[in-house]
């Protein structure tokens, strides 16, 4: 066996190292050597996780199948048992390192390790963890002030929640109470959460249907790749006008959308769409809700919030995920005038924005600023997008590369003219990339889009590794 290949295989830059419990047998080694012959180097990283002695993947899978929701799904045929994480890397039960290019929309790292965030959480936990309501606490007020400071216009009042779903439910309820109307307009292919109201506003997949809610209308998606009007946002916006004129009494409670649809397959709304729709909604007396659960917190690089790239100011902004880098927290930010509607109701959230979560999330915000992660998202994201664009020129199967900053999508089609979704091929490429040490997400209406949303500490070397690995996987198709 060639020595240099073996050396490379188990070097610290190979995803096959360090193996705490090496996959036994000649078969595994020869299979690995075969891959190593073409395997690009994962950027070196000076960290080895502590040994893992816990239950193995098969046992966890068995328990999960027996005791957890049958609706849970896995990304891979053989689900990974991830036991450690550091910055943009994850480690499985054998100590094998993976580049996490999906990350659950974590901001500062994969969601587990930034020393300043950990310290803030530990200090606050040692001192006090309690409910958000009832008493004064500086952690909650300080973070609300800092968050309001990141907002444009009069968006100054913060309601904390435990998740993105709760944030969107609250935003839609506020819009209904404020306007006295029930009708909400959302986009086809949108995802806004997993409770009744938000699942009504969701119209995401063709393989599962949303939960039907009365008074929810789904407007034409201003999808620049597949949409009938290409990149002409104003033409798509007419559909919202028509819904209001013919589908409602002429008034609406609100309109909710992301600036870049995340679960929907990294679809950036066509330029001109949001300004036109916001104008129409305001004219009909409704409120405009920006769901920043994925695009917010510097991810798009060019702006801190996704909606800013469209030159609009919403009435309500919702957020989660990146706000806490993995801590369960979400928020709704609105104007003092709109916020008043809840004073006429008994509204509170017991743990939404509790002291520990707000202390942690405040630390996340400080790290984003201190480490200039927005700038990094712009620089590394643009670099990665260019490299993915070059892959598109080489591989016919890549129909579209899109997105902004570190929120990028790669759409796979078997026929560029027909835009036929390459559903089976994408699954195969994803498995191959995982085997070579790169984890990406998958989504879109047809499930044929790679979602690349790594933690914002992602580097150019990581971007190179990801594209080299994708190139190899595609070349093998
Ligand atoms: C855009 C968007 N809004 C809302 C949600 C719901 O957030 P959560 O899962 O925290 O309830 C998600 C989750 O994926 C999302 O992507």
Each residue of 87-111: pLDDT tens digit?
999 999 999 999 999 986 788 877 6
**Domain-embedded: residue 89:** yes
- pLDDT exceeding 70 applies to what percent of the chain? 90
Whether residue 233 is found in the same domain as residue 281:
yes
Q: What is the pLDDT of residue 405?
A: 98
Question: What average pLDDT score do residues 185-214 get?
Answer: 79
Among 199, 317, 320, name the best residue to mutate to test ligand 1's pocket (greatest count of ligand atoms within 8 A of Cβ). Answer: 320
Q: Are residues 352 and 397 in the same domain?
A: no
What CATH number is given to the structural domain containing 45?
Answer: 3.90.1150.10
**Confidence class for position 4, pLDDT limits 50, 70, 90:** very low
Distance 168 CA to ligand 1 centre (A): 9
* Number of the ligand 1 atom closest to the C-alpha atom of 164: 7
Query: pLDDT, tens digit, for every residue of 141-197?
Result: 999 999 999 999 999 999 999 999 999 999 999 999 999 999 999 999 999 998 888
How many other CB atoms are there within 10 angstroms of residue 348's CB atom? 12
Give me the sign of the Cα torsion angle 350, 356, 359, 360.
Answer: negative
The Å distance, Cα 427 to ligand 1 centre, comes to: 23
Question: Residues 6 or more apart from 134 whose CB is under 8 A from it?
Answer: none
Q: Which of 370, 398, 430 is the last residue of a domain?
A: 370
Asked if residue 383 and residue 329 are part of one domain, the reply reads no
Distance from residue 402's CA to the centre of ligand 1 (Å): 21
33 alpha carbon – ligand 1 mean position (Å):
40
How far is 341 from 390, CA to CA, in rounded Å?
51
Does residue 110 lie within any of the structural domains? no
Q: What is the pLDDT of residue 224?
A: 98
| Judgement on whether residues 67 and 201 belong to the same structural domain of the protein | no
Residue 264 DSSP symbol: T
Total number of domains constituting the chain: 2
236 lies in the same domain as 132: yes
Percent of the chain with pLDDT strictly greater than 90: 80
Residue 247 has pLDDT above 90, yes or no: no
Coil vs helix vs strand at 466 = helix
Handedness of CA 47, 51, 56, 60 (dihedral sign): negative
Task: Check whether residue 214 and residue 253 sit in a common domain.
Answer: yes
Q: Is 7 helix (H, G, I), strand (E, B) or coil?
A: helix
Provide the 8-state DSSP code for 223: B
Ligand 1 atom showing the smallest separation from residue 198 Cα: 4
What pLDDT digit, counting tens, does each position of 431-443 carry? 999 999 999 999 9
**Residue range of the domain that includes 379:** 3-105+373-475
CA of residue 215 to ligand 1 center, whole Å = 21
Residues 6+ apart with CB under 8 A from 349: 132, 133, 159, 160, 161, 162, 166
pLDDT at 240 over 50: yes
Identify whether residues 340 and 379 lie together within a single domain.
no
Instruction: List residues near ligand 1 (CB under 6 A).
Output: 163-165, 168, 191-194, 258, 262-263, 291, 293-294, 320
Q: What is the dihedral of CA 56, 57, 62, 63, to 10 degrees?
A: 70
Ligand 1 atom with least separation from CA of 258: 1
**Dist. CA 40–CA 468, nearest whole Å:** 7
Q: How far is the CA of 429 from the centre of ligand 1 (A)?
A: 26
Give the residue, out of 169, 321, 352, 353, with the most ligand 1 atoms within 8 A of its beta carbon, to mutate for a pocket test: 321
- Atom 8 of ligand 1, nearest CA residue: 164
């Amino acid at each position: 066996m060639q020595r240099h290949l073996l050396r490379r295989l188990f070097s610290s830059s190979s995803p096959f190292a360090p193996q705490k419990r090496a996959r036994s047998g000649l078969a595994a080694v020869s299979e690995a050597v075969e891959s190593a012959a073409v395997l690009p180097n994962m950027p070196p990283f000076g960290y080895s996780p502590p040994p893992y002695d816990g239950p193995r993947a098969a046992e966890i899978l068995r328990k999960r199948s027996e005791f957890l929701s049958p609706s849970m799904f896995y990304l891979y045929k053989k689900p990974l048992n991830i036991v450690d994480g550091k910055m943009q890397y994850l480690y499985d039960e054998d100590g094998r390192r993976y580049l996490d290019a999906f990350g659950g929309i974590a901001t500062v790292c994969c969601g587990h390790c930034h020393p300043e965030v950990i310290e803030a959480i530990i200090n606050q936990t040692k001192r006090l963890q309690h409910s958000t309501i009832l008493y004064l606490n500086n952690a909650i007020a300080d973070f609300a002030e800092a968050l309001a400071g990141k907002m444009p216009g009069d968006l100054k009042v913060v309601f904390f929640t435990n998740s993105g779903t709760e944030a969107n439910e609250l935003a839609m309820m506020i819009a209904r109470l404020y306007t006295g109307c029930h009708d909400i307009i959302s986009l086809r292919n949108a995802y806004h959460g997993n409770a009744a109201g938000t699942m009504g506003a969701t119209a995401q997949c063709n393989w599962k249907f949303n939960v039907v809610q009365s008074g929810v209308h789904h407007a034409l998606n201003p999808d620049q790749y597949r949409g009938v009007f290409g990149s002409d946002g104003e033409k798509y916006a007419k559909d919202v006008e028509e819904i209001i004129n013919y589908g409602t009494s002429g008034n609406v409670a609100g309109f909710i959308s992301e600036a870049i649809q995340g679960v929907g397959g990294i679809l950036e709304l066509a330029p001109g769409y949001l300004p036109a729709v916001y104008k129409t909604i305001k004219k009909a007396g409704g409120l405009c809700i920006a769901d920043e659960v994925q695009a917010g917190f510097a991810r798009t690089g060019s702006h801190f919030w996704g909606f800013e790239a469209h030159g609009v100011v919403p009435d309500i902004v919702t957020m989660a995920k990146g706000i806490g880098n993995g801590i369960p927290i979400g928020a709704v930010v609105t104007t003092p005038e709109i916020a008043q509607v809840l004073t006429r109701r008994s509204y509170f959230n017991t743990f939404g924005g509790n002291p520990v979560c707000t202390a942690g999330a405040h630390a996340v915000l400080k790290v984003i600023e201190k480490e200039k992660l927005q700038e990094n998202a712009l620089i590394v994201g643009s670099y990665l997008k260019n490299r993915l664009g070059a892959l598109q020129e080489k591989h016919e199967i890549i129909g579209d590369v899109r997105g902004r900053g570190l929120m990028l999508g790669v759409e796979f089609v078997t026929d560029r003219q027909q835009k036929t979704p390459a559903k089976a091929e994408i699954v195969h490429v994803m498995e191959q990339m995982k085997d070579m040490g790169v984890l990406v997400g998958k989504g879109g209406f047809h499930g044929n889009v790679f979602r690349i949303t790594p933690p914002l500490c992602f580097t150019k070397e990581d971007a190179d590794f990801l594209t080299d690995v994708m190139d190899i996987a595609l070349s093998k198709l």
